[in-house]
Each structure stands twice: as structure tokens, then as C-alpha cells.
Structure 1
């Protein structure tokens, strides 16, 4: 039989990712002022169509970067070549106003939800260009807050430019070999040259950065030691590092040598995923840099970058899930089963699996955009003190929770296509590999759980979260309270459990399950807030919005999170001993027995 003979599977076709999205249009209708929504929605519809046409087509021309370290005569050149597809996707995002929208602030605090809505639509087809653009976003914020006049004049405008020929991209160099996420052992040193240039105090940096995820960038922000190593992170400062000299240059100027600022690319990383993203190990040798912010406050000064990139990480997780879910739903509309008599979309057991994936996507999207709204308010100075507290607590939560939950659902979406889901052509495999990095980049779940623990140690801050949750719950109408009586009672008990587990002292096994429970509780509150709005304003999706809240509270993962928290408080010393024995082998009698 010839291949074109016999049964032919009908190709699935995805709809516009904005107009077909089960969450985003309704969510934006709730959180954006009517006039703002009227202005931005046509752009989102147009951009959604671009995503599934020209942006997706560009993915065929994306390839891993190549590094040539030496020329024919043995001279070090470190020529990094990225693919045309990578360049196109990056330029497209910049032209679309990512990250420009955030700083143009045409819509004030609502500029963040608008810009991140565009990112959500594109991220599944971005091949990780949003990794360097997220760091560019964070660097723009740092310069806006504490950059020198020269940085603000000559660099800030180019970080947020919509003109790809002029726009700068920034990297972020923190990770070194001794410490990983622990920057207290940073080896890179900074030597003050007792002079300044137009960007401020002038230094030489010498050291080794083990993980740079934007090696093709124009600048980077980096930590380096300006005091004694014995002072750990308290003697680190933040620096702006041009990758090439002279800097800055106009697009028409000759491109300087990649080694012109003493930056040598040791090797490109051989990663499980994010293959198009040029990640490298770099050595710095008398590399020119300028101080950003106060001396010896580098960790504090780089915090805005971390907070912004963690929100971007959540968008990457949710956006990857969005595309996988869209593929699964589209496939169900064309694939026939039972002797070619029925479509998958008409098989209840199959739709049940799709509904489970959609439930997780809805919860993660509401949680993520809840944090994005807080970020927009804080940046525009319109946030209350309580909202500032919530942003501090929920930033590590949304990053970790989205990464933990999205990847598993992406795998579920893959299985709904059967064997076809395991094929590289549909792009699900790439997205799973790429999204796995979100469990690690900018802090593992364990690291972020400890960060959340530090945050909630401030009773005033933690109480603001509980007060917010109570306010949303109490805003239910009497009719809705009657409909949701069982789920509201369950949610209140789990919220109270959350309050009790963060009482000092917190047991050593508690931080991670506590973060997961926090994610479930806060996602519940955001889903409830949306359901209340839907009921109060008579939205056509009211019945579904209420059902989504019900199912989320009843979700098996939510119940499991509660049990994990309870277990973390039982017989802790014995469990810790047993864990060590299981992992490392029996070595001595349990002292607690």
C-alpha cells in the first residue's frame, strides 16, 4: 500500500489562542477597566493570530547556537552564532512591546496584565526567548530604581525599546561554581579603579560565572565581591557589565570583538531542554563594569530582577501548559475512535481528562495574573501596604507552584494524543523539556519554600494574606454562600491550617509542603473572586466559574497537599532519621527510639 492510500488522520488545527482561551478573555474583562480592555483586546486578538501563523512558522528555523572559540590562526574569537529563527522571535517580541509595554505604562498599573497577556499567548512558541527578555525586564526595573543618571539616559531607553535594531537585551550573572543558589560563596571580585565614567563608579571584574542564560545579550547585571569573603553575601555588590567595548554603540557602528571586554566563553551548556537558548560558562578577566546602587548591597539590589524573572517563570509554565492543552483539545475535535464512528471530544472519559487539565490551567492562570496585578500596582505606586506584603509572599509561591503543577499536566496533555503525542512534530516534547527548567531556574521549589518561610516570619505580612482571603470569602452573596457552603467550609479550614503551620517554630520538613498548600489556597481565593464577580455581573460563564471553584477545592491534589502538611508535623525526628537511613544506608541506632 502506498502511503497516501488507506486511512488518513485529519490534521488538527488550533484556534486563535486568545479568542479560544477558556480563561484569559474573561479574566481580563474582570481586572481591566472597560476602556483599557476596549483598546487592548483587538491587539490581543491580532497577536493571537500572529502566534499560530508567522510566529509558529519561525520555529522551523530555530536551531541550537554554535560557538567558535578560535579562528584559523589560533586567535581567541568566541564567535557565538544563534539561529535566524531565534533572532526573529526575539525581535518580534521586542517589536510587540515586550518588555516595552511595562515601562511605557500607557495603562498604568494595568500595563503589566496587558503585556503578560501577550507573553502568555506567545510563550509556548517562543523557544525560550522570554528568558533573556525577562532578565531584560528585571534589569530595566533595577536601572529605573537605582541606576545612575548615565544609565537611565543611555541604557534604560534601549532596554525597553520596540525597535529591535536598537533594543538591548540583558543577562543576569549570579550563579557560580561554589554555591549555586547560595551566592555567599561568590568568587568573582571587583576592583575599584578610583574613577568614574558616564555610567558611574568604574570597576574591573575578575571571576567565573557558571551559568549565563543570555550569552548573546548586550549587557548583564552581575554580582561581584567588594569586601572580605568572610562576610559572605554582605560584601557583594551589583554591577552593570557591557559584553563588548566600546559601549554603547549605534546599530550602524561596527560590531566589536566578543572578547573586547575580557569576557571569554568557556563552553556552551549541554542542557536537557531550552536548546535554542545560548547558555554558557564565562570567565571575566579585567572586565569593565559599573556599580549599580549602594556598595555591598548587591543581593538586595538585584532582588527586583529576581522577583520579575520569577513571575516570568510562572508565565512560562502556564503558557507551556496552555499550548499543550490547546493541542489536546484541537486533536479531540478531529480524531475518531470506536471504528471511526465517534470523535474523541464526544467520549466522556476522554473529555474528563481534558477537563482535569483545563482545571489546573484555569487555577494557575488566575493565580499568576493575581500576582501580576500586584506587581503592576507596586511598580506604579498604587498598591496598599497589604498588597505589597502579598506580592512579597506570593512571588515565590506562584513561581514554584506553577512549575510543579504545569509540567505534570503537560504530560497528561501529551497522553491524550496517544502515540501521536510522543512525536516531536507536535512540539509537546520540546515544551515539556523547556518547562522542566522552571523547576530550577531562579530557585528550586525547596529554595523558594525557604524564601516564603522567611517572608511569613513577619506576622504583619502573613496576616495581610489571611485578611485578604477572609475578605474575598466574606464577599460572597448569601445565594452563592448557600451554593458553595461545603466548599467554603473546606477552604476556611485549610486556610486556618495554613495559619497554624507557619507558627514558630516551623518543623524542618514543613516548608515545601507548606508552600504547595499555600499555592492551592491562594489559587482557590482567586478562583472564588472570579466566580463572585461572574455571579454579581451576570456573566454567561457564571455556572462554569462556580463549578471550577468547587472542583478546585475538591481537587485530589489539594487534599493531598493537606495530608502532606499534616504528615510533616508528625514524629519529625524519627522521619528525619528514617529518611537519612533510606537514602544513605543504616549507620547507627535511631537516638529517638
Structure 2
């Protein structure tokens, strides 16, 4: 029998990703004022049509980058060639206004919600183009706060341009070989020169950056030491680094060489996923750069960049899941089983499994856009955020990034399995989406690293109180009629709130990860509760109830309670299990 003869599986249609989404239209209606909601929904519907009908072809030509380090005469050239698809996908995002929207300030405190929902819809189709674009947003935010007048006049407009032929992208150079996420062990140092230009005093940077995920960008923000190395992060400063000189060539001049500012690409990284993204190891030799902000306050000055990129990371995780769930759900509408008599969508067993993925998806979408809305209140012009909002945002950015990354990959695997063998095929994109989503568990801090950061933030009494008071207010806002039917999940949430007193004293290492996960489950549940109270919809109420009682919060409570009882000797036991009894450590 020829392949085109006999039984043929019906093709499925993902549909318009905005109109077919089970969460976004209703969520935006709640979060946005009526007039703004109308404008943004119309634009998202148009974007959904673009994604549905045009973006797929660009993915066909989105290939891995190629690095040529030497020409035929042995001259170092470091020519990086990215694929046509990668460049065009970045261009689509820039034309759609990411990150431009955030600096046009059209909708005041709702601007972040607007820009992030467009990024969210694009995430599953743009092959990690938002990695450099998120860092570009962070760089623009830094220049808006700390840049010189000339930087704001010449460089900032390029970073936020909607014209891809004119737009800059930016990198974020922090990770180094000695410390990974521990920036205090930097090998990169800055030396002031006696030269300056219109952008400021010129420094020279020397060092080595182990991960650079925007190697094809025009500029980068980088941390470098400016004092005694023994003082660690207290002597780090933040710099703006042009990747090539001159940054603005004269019309008609040849493009500056890739090594013109002393930056050399040691090698491209061979990664599990994000194959189209040029990630490299960089050698920095006397690269000219400019100080951003106050000397020796680099960690403080880069925090807004980290907050922004962590929210992008969370949105990327859930955006990848969005497409995988859309694919597996669409497949259930066309795939027949039981001798062709029953569609998967009519199989109670199959729909039960799909519903579990959908509940996770709904919880994560409400969580990420709850944090995006909070960020808009704190960061954007016209924002109504209070000091308490800013403190809660400090905790939420670490939580939402880690929590979404942890839950996304298993849910994507479920979406793959829901399609059987078809889900394992590369043509359906789930494999690529899974590989690309996995990086979010590492990029911008692993869950363990972010657990440490969350614990440090919680040591500040008002910061922890801002989270607890928000949670208690959400409980108290539940109407009595609804509270009666939701007695069990609300009791679990009360217990979860009470466990946050474990942050008050320095928690043991065994508590950090369980506490972070519990806070993620609790926070996402309260965002679901807010929406259920607003909508009074039976499905929204059921999603909240099942998320709390079946989705993992009860188990997270048990994990925290068990971790709180663990004796210090567990550290020795762990070392013996992993390394053997002779290498067991005597202390944590």
C-alpha cells in the first residue's frame, strides 16, 4: 500500500492563539480598564492571526548560528552568522513593539501587561528570540534610570525601536567560570582611562564571560570589579559595553569588525536546546565601556534588569506550555480511537488527563500576569504601586520565575504523551518547545539559587509582611457564600500562610526549596481565587478548588512541615549517600 492510500489522520488546527486561549481573554477583561481592554484585545486578536498564518514558515529557516574565527590568511575575524529565520523572528517581535511598548508608556501602569501578553502569545513560535529582547528591555530600563544624557539621546532610542533595520539588541554579561551565579567571584575587572567621549569616562574591561546569550547584539550591560577582589560583590560596578567600535559608523563606511572592541568569541556553546540562539564564551581584552550609576554599586544597579528578565523567563516557560497544550488539545478534536468510533475529546479518561494540564496552565498564567500587573504598578509611569507593592514584587520575581520553570517541563511532557507517538515527532514542535523551556530552570538562577535569594528577601520583616498581608487580604475578600463551599481549599491556604513564619529566622538549607515551592503554589492559588471571585464562573471556581486540593499545594505543605523537622545530621547522611561514608561532611 502506498503511503497516501488507506487511513489518513486528520490534520489539526491550533487556531488563533489569543481567541482560542482558555484564560487570556477573561483575565485581561478583569485586569484592564474597559477602553484599554478593548484596544489591547483587538491588537492581540490581530497578532493571533499573524501567528496562526505567517510565523510558521519562518521557523523552517531558523537554524543554528555558525562561527568563523579565522579567515583563510589566519586573521582573527570572529564572524558570527545567524540564520535568516532567527533574524526575521526577532524583527517580527520588534515590529510588534517588544520592548518598544514599555517605553512608549501608552497605557500607564497597564503597559507591562500589554507588552507581556504580546510576548506571551509569540513565545512558542519565535525560537527563543525573547532571550536577547528581554535583556534589551533590561538594558533600556537601566539607561532610562542611570544613563547619561547622550546615552538616552542616541542609544536608548535604538534599543526601543520598532524598526528592525535600526534597532539595537543588548546582552547581559554576568556568568563567569569561577562562580556561576555567584557574581562575587568575577574574573572581569575594569580600569579607568584618562579618555572620555560624549557618553562618559572610558573604562577598559578585561576578563572572560562564560555565558553570553546575545552574542549578535550591539551593546551589553556587564558587571566588572572596580576594587579589592577580596571584597567580592561590594566592589562590582555596572558598565555599558559596545560590542564593536564605532557604535555608530558613518554612512557609507564598512561595518566595524567583530573584534574591533577587543571582544573575541572563544566558542559557541553546544546546548540541549535554544539552538538558534547564539550563546558564546567571550574573551574581553581592553574593551572600551562606560560606567552606569555609582561606582561599586553594580549589584544594586542591575537588580531591575534581573527583575525584568526573570518575569520574561516565567512568561517564556508558560508561553511554551501554552502552545504545547494548544497542540495536544487540538489533536484531541480530530484523533479518533476505539475503531474510529470515538474522538479523544469524547473519551473521559483522555479529557481527565488534559484537564490536569489545563489547570496547571491556568494557575501559571494567572500567576505570571498577576506579577506582570504588579510590575506595571511599581515600574511604569502613572503606576499606583505602593512601597508594599515594591517589596512584594521583590519576592514575587524570584518565586514566579522558579515556580513556573519547575512546573512547565513536566506539563509539556504530559502534552507530548497525550498525543501518543505523534507527540514524539519533531514536526509537532513539542520536542523543541520542551528543550527550549528547560533552560528556564537554569537561566537567571536555578530554583536552589532563587530559594536562597527568596530567604534573603524574607529576612527583611516588611518585605515578608507585604506577601503575608496580601495573602490574608485575599482570604478575607472571599464572599461568605463562596467561602462556605470552598471551606477545604481555604483552610489549606490558611495553613500555607502560617508556615511563612519559618522565614522569620534564618531557615535551614533543607527548607529553602520547599518554602519557595509552597509560596509559588500559594501565590498562584490566590490569583486564581481573585479571578474566581470576580467572574463568579463555575469553571473558574472549580479550577481554584482543584488547584489547591489536587494540584500540589497540599503536598507542598507536607514537604515544608517535614523539612522543618529534619535534623542537622541529615547533611552528613546526604553526603554519605552521594559520595560514600568516608567523604561524608561533618557540617552543613
* TM-score over 0.5 (shorter chain): yes
* Matched residue, 1:178: 178
Q: Residues 39-97 of structure 1, C-alpha deviation per residue, up to 9 Å, x if partnerless?
A: 11111001011112211221001000000111111111111000000000000100000
Answering whether residue 156 of structure 2 is matched by residue 161 of structure 1, we say no
SS at match of 1:255: coil
Tell me if structure 1 keeps the 8 A contact 2:64–2:277: yes
Q: CA contact under 8 A between 2:575 and 2:585: conserved in structure 1?
A: no
1:575 to 562, 570, 578: 570
Corresponding position of 1:448: 450
Following superposition, the deviation at residue 249 of structure 1 comes to 3.7
Gaps of 5+ in 2: none
Partner of 1:25: 25
Indicate yes or no: 2:586 matched with 1:585. Answer: no
For residue 393 of structure 1, report the CA deviation from its aligned partner: 0.7
Aligned to 1:539: none
Shift of 1:157: 1.0
* Cα distance in 2, alignment partners of residues 495 and 553 from structure 1: 13
1:312 aligns with 312
Distance change in 2, residues 1:105/1:590 (3 Å)? closer
Query: How far apart, in 1, do the equivalents of 2:502 and 2:251 lie?
Result: 56
Alignment length (residue pairs)? 585
How do residues 213-224 of structure 1 correspond to structure 2 at under 5 angstroms? Answer: 213-224=213-224
5+ residue gaps in structure 1?
536-541
Q: What secondary structure, in the 3-state scheme, does the structure 2 residue paired with 1:127 have? A: coil
Call closer, same or farther: CA 1:589–1:260 in 2, change over 3 Å.
Answer: closer
Using a 3 Å threshold, how does the CA distance of structure 1 residues 199 and 551 change in structure 2: closer, same or farther? same
Q: 1:434 aligns with which of 428, 433, 436?
A: 436
Do 1:165 and 1:251's aligned partners in 2 also have CA atoms closer than 8 Å? no
Moved more, 554-563 or 247-256: 247-256
Larger CA deviation: 88-97 vs 148-157? 148-157
Q: Distance in 2 between matches of 1:86 and 1:589?
A: 48
Q: In 2, distance between residues paired with 1:486 and 1:322?
A: 29
Shift of 1:424: 0.7
The answer to whether residue 487 in structure 2 is matched with residue 492 in structure 1 is no
Whether the aligned pair in 1 keeps the contact of 2:573 and 2:584 (CA below 8 Å) is no
2:419 aligns with 417
Superposed CA deviations along residues 269-294 of structure 1, whole A, max 9, x for unmatched, are: 00010000000011111111111110
Find the counterpart in structure 1 of residue 462 from structure 2: 460
**Superposition deviation, residue 248 in structure 1:** 2.4
- Partners of 2:218 and 2:247 within 8 A in 1: no
Per-residue Cα deviation, 1:543-575 (whole angstroms, up to 9, x for no partner):
101111100111252222112111111232232
User: 1:574, 1:590 within 8 Å by CA — same for their partners in 2?
Assistant: no
- The alpha-carbon deviation at position 370 of structure 1 amounts to 0.8
Does the CA-based 8 Å contact 1:507-1:572 persist in structure 2?
no
Tell me the equivalent position of 2:539.
Answer: 544
Structure 1 stretch displaced more, 267-276 or 457-466: 457-466
Q: Residues 312-356 of structure 1: CA distance to partner in whole angstroms, max 9, x if unpaired?
A: 000010000000000000000000000010000000110011100
1:510-562 CA distance string (max 9 Å, x none): 01110000000001110000011112xxxxxx010111110011125222211
Aligned to 1:116: 116
Find the counterpart in structure 1 of residue 187 from structure 2. Answer: 187
Shift of 1:302: 1.1
Q: CA deviation at 1:588?
A: 7.9
RMSD over aligned Cα atoms? 1.4
The corresponding residue for 1:104 is: 104
Residue 90 (structure 1) aligned with residue 90 (structure 2):
yes
Distance 1:363 1:458, change over 3 A: same
User: Is 1:473 equivalent to 2:475 in the alignment?
Assistant: yes
Q: How far 1:305 moved relative to its partner?
A: 1.0
Which residue in 1 is equivalent to 2:57? 57
Distance 1:384 1:253 in 2: 50
CA-to-partner distance for each residue in 1:361-419, whole Å, 9 max, x for gaps? 00001111111011111112421111111100100000000000011100000000001
SS at the partner of 1:573? coil
Map 1:65-84 → 2, pairs under 5 A: 65-84=65-84
For 1:287, what is the secondary structure of its paired residue?
strand
Q: Deviations over 1:401-447 (max 9, x none)?
A: 00000111000000000011111110100011011000000000000
Equivalent pair of 2:391/2:463 in contact (CA under 8 Å): yes
CA distance 1:174–1:466, shift in 2 (3 Å): same
Contact 1:170 1:218 in 2 (8 A): yes
Contact 2:186 2:225 in 1 (8 A): yes
Distance in 1 (alpha carbons) for counterparts of 2:126 and 2:178: 32
Asked whether the 8 Å contact 1:509–1:572 carries over to 2, the reply is no
Residues 68 and 79 in structure 1, CA contact (< 8 A), matched pair in contact too: yes
Which stretch shifts more, 162-171 or 579-588? Answer: 579-588
Q: 2:151 and 2:286 mapped to 1: Cα distance?
A: 21
- Mapping for residues 263-278 of structure 1, pairs under 5 Å: 263-278=263-278
